[in-house]
Structure 1
Amino acid sequence: MANNLRIAVIGTGRMGTDHIKRLTHRIAGADVTGVVDIDAGRAKAAAALAGGHAKVWDDPHAALSSGQYDAFVLTTPGMLHYDVLMDALDKGLPVFCEKPLTADAATAREIVDAEAGLDARLIQVGFMRRYDAGYQRLRRYFTEGSLGAPLMLHCRHRNPDPPPNFTDALMIYDSVVHEIDGVRYFTGEEITEISVRKGRATAGAHGKLSDPQQVLMRTESGVLVDVEIFVNALFGYQVHTEAVFERGIVDIGNDEGAYVRSAGHWGGEVTPGFEQRFAAAFDTELQGWVNRLRDGLPPNGPSAWDGYAAAACCEAGVEAQLEGTTVTIALGKKPTFYG
């Protein structure tokens, strides 16, 4: 494709706004020529971020039917994804869909089956950690086997503070979902069971939120995974993974950057949020998606199947939270279309 991709961003909240800035200022080969949001004021402000030339829509289906766009970036809340994705599949339009694919496993499976029925990859799901340099380095130890078989993964996911309406379920759906996808990315295996342990809650947890929690998982080959999810950690944002292999241990996500000694003090800084920690990964992710589409190729990032698998694991995780039991995860048959 000689010209830049014409992209419409559907949803102009936190992630939508961030992606508009990214596509406008840091991604080559794409122009944000449309923004969609039911909030007219917010949509106009987002259009201004794209240089003021983007058309404003209040209906995503009207934008999908307009014929004015080559591809779409979907960043609305997950409960609004299903109808938009089904419409895009019906029209043969590629969509970069921020996680979650949909709000539940059943509708996510419908998306998988609809796309597989087309025999054409159109959807890429926004699991940005797969594009982080540390994540990619760690994955090579899994795929190359130089340290022997993987045995365990120890994960820590710490946020400074959550939104006021954050719930126990959102600790799984909004936070641990990234570890769920990370486990699948590293091991190349599906997760077969999940359980959740609650203990003493921090005094900083609001309402009925039980924070922190420990999530335990097992993969098909028996790799054991434990995740500390702590959303009121206060000190900053930290994602750390330690992989235990037969002949070695690999850590990623340790605090990096300048280590300063000055005026009787020593130390460094902790990133304040996920936007800063994974800024380079977000850029690499979107640039790769744009490059594939401009070359006339289907997206090759996280697929609708990956989105469905994550949704099923999250549902099982919330069930485990509520019931206090270990929940088995059965995904059903994977369409051969996804390899």
Structure 2
Amino acid sequence: MKEARIGIIGTGVMGADHAAILADGVANARLVAVQDFDLGRAENIAASLGVRAIANADALISDPDIDAVMVCSPDGTHAALALRAIAAGKPVLVEKPLAASLEDAEAIIRAEVAAGKRLVQVGFMRRFDAGYVEMKQALASGELGRPLFLHCVHRNAVGPDYLTSELVIANSAGHECDIARYLLGEEITSAIVASPPATRNAPNRQPQFILLQTASGVVVDIEVFTDAQYGYDVRAELVCEDGTVALDPSPATTLRAKGHDGFRTPADWRPRFRQAYRAQLEAWTAGILTRTPSGSSAWDGYMAMLVTKACLHAWKTGNRAAVELPEKPSLYR
């Protein structure tokens, strides 16, 4: 196989963006088909990119001219589609979350273990962001000494109407839960959550402040504020015994106008992580060709869900909650 022929299920915001990146050119990959429950939407994207529109997801997964599948459909469909791809023996990149329930995530783990090979990657694209990669490399170098604190900020301009206080934890904070495990290279063992009052701009949901602790004692704090108004803003600083390393939020240009000196804040996550999404696709397709998977595994997706489960329990009870730590199958070690 000289290139991986990709089919995308779901052509909403994320599916359309992935399709555009693939059509623009990704090493080792070629977009060949898209599918959506709204066939008209899929047909429009297919026509604009010169690929096929397929009527249903099962037909796309079983198509002999498609080597790998991306699942960008609504969260509740992720598990069933991932299981079908595993059954077909095809690599599948599933947008986060891995599944809508822990039971469904566990079914994916069992199916992949039974298949005897890693076929699932979860779309935690921050692992491919240059800033986070450099943070991990700085820690691994030993120059900074032992990690003590990881400070994280996750802000959106305006959250969607369906977003609740619970989903701020269960969905929005999922990226931070994964990136903390990635940067620190260990499991999170406990969670505490504190909630300030809801804001006047979003009276039906609260911002959340999450405090996690890892197996070695590193403290991770996460501010999740989905209605910050000014734009999309992600920050991280790793504080160690002998120094710190932090993300640089500044883009390549500075704007000076009308009494302001600074840079524009992106409206959402896509401009901020544009290069990370491309790097993720390049690594995924290279792994398909070399049979060496990279990125977040199904196990990583499952562990992120277990961390958010503990956070939800802590939020509801007001107490520290332990994170379940099941035995990791040898496939993921």
Deviates more, 1:252-261 or 1:278-287: 252-261
> 8 Å contact 1:32–1:54 — kept in the other structure?
no
Divergent runs of 4+, >4 A? none
The structural deviation recorded for 1:201 is 2.3
Give a deviation string over 1:248-267, Cα, whole Å, max 9, x none: 12221433332344565422
Q: Distance in 2 between matches of 1:202 and 1:134?
A: 31
Give 1:222's aligned residue.
217
- Correspondence for 1:195 among 184, 192, 206: 192
**37-46 or 95-104, which moves further after superposition?**
37-46
- The alignment yields a C-alpha RMSD, in angstroms, of 1.6
> Which residue is equivalent to 2:52?
54
Does the CA-based 8 Å contact 2:72-2:94 persist in structure 1?
Answer: yes
1:177-216 aligned within 5 A: 177-206=174-203, 208-210=204-206, 212-216=207-211
Which of 102, 110, 113 in structure 2 is aligned with 1:113? 110
Q: What CA deviation, in whole Å up to 9, does each residue of 1:168-216 have, x standing for no partner?
A: 122123211010001000111111111210113221114x211x22011
Instruction: Give the 5 Å matches for 1:76-155.
Output: 76-155=73-152
Structure 1, residues 234-257: CA drift from partner, whole Å, max 9, x if none? 111110011110111222143333
Distance 2:187 2:76 in 1: 24
Aligned equivalent of 2:321, options 303, 309, 327: 327
Say if 1:84 and 1:158 are closer, same or farther in 2 by CA, change over 3 A: same
SS in 2 for 1:83: helix
User: Is the CA contact 1:10–1:73 (under 8 Å) kept in the aligned structure 2?
Assistant: yes
* Contiguous gaps of at least 5 residues in structure 2: none
Instruction: Name the CA shift for 1:264/1:102 in 2 (closer, same or farther; >3 Å).
Output: closer
The 2-side partners of 1:273 and 1:6 are apart by 29
1:157 aligns with 2:151: no
Deviation at 1:129, TM superposition (A): 0.5
The sequence identity of aligned pairs, in percent, is 39
Contact 1:154 1:241 in 2 (8 A): yes
Kept in 1, the 8 Å contact 2:255–2:264? The answer is no
Secondary structure in 2 aligned to 1:172? helix
Q: Supply the distance in 2 between the matched residues of 1:229 and 1:96 (Cα, whole angstroms).
A: 26
Which sections of structure 1, spanning at least 5 residues, go unmatched?
A: none
Bigger Cα displacement from structure 2, 320-329 vs 230-239:
320-329
Change (3 A) 1:80 1:260: closer
- CA distance, structure 1, for counterparts of residue 88 and residue 198 of structure 2: 48
- Deviation of residue 218 (structure 1)? 0.5
1:17 corresponds in structure 2 to 16
Contact 2:42/2:53, CA 8 A, preserved across alignment: no
- Corresponding residue SS for 2:45: helix
Q: How does 1:67-82 map to 2 (within 5 A)?
A: 67-82=64-79
The whole-number CA distance in structure 2 between the counterparts of 1:256 and 1:37 is: 34
Q: Is the 8 A contact 1:104 1:315 kept in 2?
A: no
TM-score (norm 1): 0.94
Give the number of aligned pairs.
Answer: 333
- Relative to the length of structure 2, the TM-score reads 0.95
